[in-house]
Chains A and B, each alone.
Chain A
Amino acid sequence: VPSSMQCGTRRMGVMTDVHRRFLQLLMTHGVLEEQAVKRLQKHCYKVHDCNATVEKLEDFINNINSVLESLCIEVKKGVTEDDGRPIYALVNLATTSVSKMASDFAENELDLFRKALELIIDSESGFASSTNILNLVDQLKGKKMRKKEAEQVLQKFVQNKWLIEKEGEFTLHSRAILEMEQYIRATYPDSVKMCNICHSLLIQGQSCETCGIRMHLPCVAKYFRSSSEPRCPHCNDCWPHEIPEIFNPEKEREAGTSSSNKKSLRSRQH
């Protein structure tokens, strides 16, 4: 291993093969849920340093991020919008445009994604219907794309974890939200929605019918956890929606059930 690094990084944390393998595997998977990340971490220790105690995940990741900071990438933690599962992804902070994906997709495909993204952001539910997206096919930059082709491209986005499809409608994959939050906030400052509790980008959530503030479903669950009478944090009116049940790692470990058994509300409440 070269002892001196001459790539402009001054503040380097300690990188060992444990961290390197972790990054390799995290990159391979794209986005992982927290339980899988913990297993991954243990695996890396087992392979490279089986005698060491496994560091607490948060510290482990902070250590890695101190090294990655100068490279403009980060192991970012997020939460799935529909059922509050913690997820991790290695994201690129530097690129500020959708051209992040540019190496994978053609010009007209990128433009299709942009159109879908705009529809999603503008929508109330955070979902854009397949029909509405496909109707924009004529407006795409680049080579002319037929609707049939566009359907396949949308499926490609789903496979690559940029979009999620639910019953013919599309929303952003949590990985896309993690990676593109800054870009979205910068590009659509007027139409973008924010969560009143955690102050990050909001695609799906619940909103107050009186004053219009919005909250992520996991944020709603956490905020109203012990409330018998949930009230809007902004205008104090009764909160009109059902408080969702959110992923609880403790409960799942005890029960030994998988997440698919948990009832996760469709996030189309507003």
Chain B
Amino acid sequence: VGKKVKDLGYSRFAAEASHAEVCISPGVPMEGPPPASQAATLGEPQSLPFSPMDAPQASPSPQALSDEGDMRALLLEEEEDCACQAQSAAQAQPGLAPPTPAQLVQKAHELMWYVLVKDQRKMVIWFPDIVKDVIGSYKKWCRSILKRTSIILARVFGLHLRLTNLHTMEFSLVKALEPEELDRMALSNHMPMTGLLLMILSLIYVKGRGARESAVWNVLRILGLRPWRKHSTFADVRKVITEEFVQQNYLKYQRVPYVEPPEYEFFWGPRACREITKMQIMEFLSRVFKKDPQAWPSRYREALQEARALREAETIAHAFRSSISED
């Protein structure tokens, strides 16, 4: 539940979608009921030239990003701590001498290395492990240690230590996309790729499950993109969507099990889940097809839910940030 890249900023597509039909299935939320028999397809706009994208807004400052992730975890820890302290007061445990600032700094460095090694080995960075292996008896100062480590990682390595899964309390090291890089991407030919990517992500989202490669090409064909033909902007489209987007973790490209001859399907990749909100997809869809997002009611509902959750998280983080003292 980290902050998302706000408003990638698409220009309008010249879509002749007035007669486009959009069928929606109830969809398959993670733990929801099985899908209805209707298949979901995106509409069929006649022509959609890709125009250059607007430059997106700068991503929020690394400090804010890591803070938000930290806060959630630390809020949980905070509750535990209060309970512990109440207990220890009652039991009159021998008091620990508070660590010196230098010791806290050293702990932050230890945590930094710990996180880097875990990430290097592709091991899960689990919050309880952090507390057990690194923080140890400095539990009360966990918040400030974590904050300091986040700052160092952002400043020196350009990495964000972010809570990526609140339920399992997993952290990840996420590469920071500096504003300069976004600008550079916008100026180069990379931005049109965003439209292509969003098209596929939207298709997957509306379907509520993986999108078969054949379905994806059905849509792309209408845009004049074909797997065997090189395109003036996208060059080898098939390579872009099955290799580049996959390598960048925006898409997952997997073989459909038990199907002969082999077929493949696309899913959202972890990076797409992190960086792109459902509301952005709804905005994209409504722009492309000139329809109100409520034309996809269940999807719109999901997007609203996600947006609400994000706002809540932001409120908590904001309240927390303004209540804690400086390190």
Contacts and interface: CB of A to CB of B under 8 A. Distances in A.
B114 A103 contact: yes
Contact of A17 (B110, B113, B118, B158): B158
B62 interface: yes
A28 B119 CA distance: 8
B203 interface: no
Given A1-B178, A23-B157, A104 B62 contact: no
B159 interface: yes
B155 interface: yes
B121 A160 contact: yes
Given A1-B62, A48-B181, A15 B109 contact: no
A72 B109 contact: yes
Interface stretch (B25-33, B47-55, B146-154): B146-154
A28 B148 CA distance: 22
A261 interface: no
Looking at A24, A28, A73, which has the most chain B CB atoms within 10 Å of its CB? Answer: A24
A155 to B, nearest CB: 15
Contacts of B109: 71-73, 94
Residue of A2, A8, A73 with highest tally of chain B CB at under 10 A: A8
B120 to A, nearest CB: 6
B327 interface: yes
Contacts of B156: 15, 20, 23, 67-68, 71
A28 B157 CA distance: 12
Size category of the B interface is: 35 or more
Contact of B112 (A71, A95, A102): A71
A27 interface: yes
B302 interface: no
A251 to B, nearest CB: 33
A5 interface: yes
A258 interface: no
A103 to B, nearest CB: 6
B180 A17 contact: yes
B108 interface: yes
B105 interface: yes
Contact of B157 (A2, A24, A94, A104): A24
Interface residues of A, number: 29
A160 B117 CA distance: 11
A28 B156 CA distance: 15
Contacts of A48: 180-181
Interface in A78-131: 90, 92, 94-95, 102-104
Interface in B246-278: none
Nearest to B148: A7
Contacts of B101: 8
Contacts of A249: none
B120 A30 contact: yes
Interface in B110-157: 110, 112-114, 116-121, 123, 129, 133, 148, 151-152, 154-157
Contacts of B327: 6
Contacts of A147: none
Contacts of B129: 103
A27 B181 contact: no
Contacts of A90: 116
B120 A28 contact: yes
Contacts of B214: none
Contact of A27 (B108, B120, B178): B120
A26 to B, nearest CB: 10
Nearest to A160: B121
Nearest to A5: B155
Interface in B145-176: 148, 151-152, 154-159, 175
Given A15-B155, A103-B118, A103-B129, 9 more contacts: A1-B155, A2-B155, A5-B155, A6-B327, A7-B108, A30-B120, A48-B180, A94-B113, A102-B133
